[in-house]
Homo-oligomer: A and B are copies of this chain.
Amino acid sequence: MCSGCIEKEVVKILKVDVEKPELGKPNFDSERILKPLREKFNEEIKIPLVILQKLPYTLRKCKNSIYVILVKNENYWEVGDILCEKPEEILGVGIDLGSTTVAFYIYDFVEKKLIKSFSILNPQIKIGEDILTRLHFAKKQENLEYIKNITIEAINEELQKIGSEKIYYLSFCGNTAMTHFFLGLPVNYLFIEPYVPCVKWIGILDSKELNLRTHPLSKIFIFPIAGTYFGGDLIAGLFFSEIYKKEELNFFIDIGTNAEVVLGNKEFLLACAGAAGPALEGAIFECASQAKEGAIERIRIKNNKIEYSTIGEMPPVSICGSGVIDLIAELFLNGLINSNGKFQIDKFPERFRKIGDEYVFIVAEENETAFKKPIYIKQSEIKSFLRSKG
């Protein structure tokens, strides 16, 4: 599930043929493009000043036939750009700022599809691995500013690689602390009684308010905060899974550094939270580790082909907590383990191998990994995982 995913209908690309101006009737360049836009869809549209400043030149250069990019704001649409040619790519980026990793989901509004996703390490780790250390650090205003700046800078580096000028929309989610850090909001009263977050609903901001390196008119939607322990990341997950619309009872689980579990349907939602990720990392798995560069965090198995992605897109060094969850789920979905967790060796013999006196499942062969040793999961590790969670 892609909790950082972007809503698909927030950017539109429309071709518009405008009427030529004529002597003797009211002629305004603004009205000439607004009229056909309003005919195409009946919502309020505003033209920002920087677009007006080039509108007369562009309309004539494009011979009254232009492509208009519309970007959704809270209750109206804004002209994001005007171009003579249809743009090849108009991108949206979903950002999921986790305590340990930052996930990016790149959506193309021209092709209307997710074209890439990847993640990097959260640069805040250098201040402290656990959130509480960072919260204490951020009590001083200049430290909060510092955390905000290193976070934005790390995100900006990725946005620049993606192509800043092509990015017209961002969506952001993170837990309550991450949302505060990202926006530079004081956390001083967040982690002492009575635990008061600064804000609940943030809505849509101009990306430039956060110094994000995107198209100058791009917007960013910030998923709202539900409470101190239930942040925008959980809201984003609930929003996209739509469990709040369902008749039947549903169970929503988001496992990251912390895990949030929500039980409910269209009538009620009951949530609880607790530590999670670190329990899977290192302690019971030989090849597992905390999320770090090169850690495998996403795994897909299909027709006996294994695909994985690593943090920072580096050669694999280990599997992090999210990767372990993915791996066990994929093994089960592909019939490579049964409901007791027992390996079904004949289903994928090339990848089941005996190391010492125990069978393992090879996730990455030694020629793929950074240290030239295979990365695997043991039969006994799966059993103890199932026992601990069962």
Question: A22, B194: Cβ atoms under 8 Å?
Answer: yes
When chains A and B are docked, how far (Å) is the Cα of A189 from the Cα of B20? Answer: 13
Q: How many positions in chain A have a CB within 8 Å of any CB in the partner chain?
A: 43
The stretch from A5-13, A48-56, A260-268, A351-359 touching chain B is: A48-56
Mask, A191-211, CB within 8 Å of B = 1, is: 001111111111101000110
137-193 of chain A: CB within 8 A of chain B:
183-186, 188-189, 193
When chains A and B are docked, how far (Å) is the Cα of A333 from the Cα of B203? Answer: 57
Known: A22-B194, A23-B194, A49-B205. A28 touches B185 (CB 8 A): no
- Give 21 A-B contacts (CB < 8 Å), ordered by A residue: A21-B194, A21-B196, A22-B194, A23-B195, A27-B194, A27-B195, A28-B199, A28-B200, A30-B198, A46-B203, A49-B184, A49-B205, A49-B209, A49-B210, A53-B184, A54-B186, A55-B198, A56-B185, A56-B186, A56-B189, A56-B198
Is A47 located at the chain interface by the 8 A CB criterion?
yes
Is the contact region of chain A dominated by helix, strand, or loop, or is it mixed?
Answer: loop
**Chain B contacts of A349 at CB under 8 A?**
none
When chains A and B are docked, how far (Å) is the Cα of A4 from the Cα of B256? Answer: 58
When chains A and B are docked, how far (Å) is the Cα of A193 from the Cα of B227? Answer: 61
Is A57 located at the chain interface by the 8 A CB criterion?
yes
A200 closest partner in B (C-beta): B28
17 additional contacts, CB 8 Å, given A27-B197, A46-B203, A53-B185?
A21-B194, A23-B195, A27-B196, A28-B197, A28-B198, A28-B225, A30-B201, A31-B200, A49-B183, A52-B185, A52-B202, A53-B183, A53-B184, A53-B186, A54-B186, A57-B186, A75-B75
Question: A199, B27: Cβ atoms under 8 Å?
Answer: no
How far apart are A199's CB and chain B's nearest CB, in angstroms?
Answer: 4
Number of identical protomers: 2
**Chain B contacts of A195 at CB under 8 A?**
23, 27
When chains A and B are docked, how far (Å) is the Cα of A188 from the Cα of B49? Answer: 17
Is A293 located at the chain interface by the 8 A CB criterion?
no
Is A26 located at the chain interface by the 8 A CB criterion?
yes
Is A254 located at the chain interface by the 8 A CB criterion?
no
**Chain B contacts of A26 at CB under 8 A?**
200, 227
Is A17 located at the chain interface by the 8 A CB criterion?
no
When chains A and B are docked, how far (Å) is the Cα of A95 from the Cα of B200? Answer: 38
Is A326 located at the chain interface by the 8 A CB criterion?
no
Question: A196, B29: Cβ atoms under 8 Å?
Answer: yes
When chains A and B are docked, how far (Å) is the Cα of A30 from the Cα of B225? Answer: 11
**Chain B contacts of A60 at CB under 8 A?**
189
How far apart are A149's CB and chain B's nearest CB, in angstroms?
Answer: 13
Mask, A24-48, CB within 8 Å of B = 1, is: 1011111100000000000000110
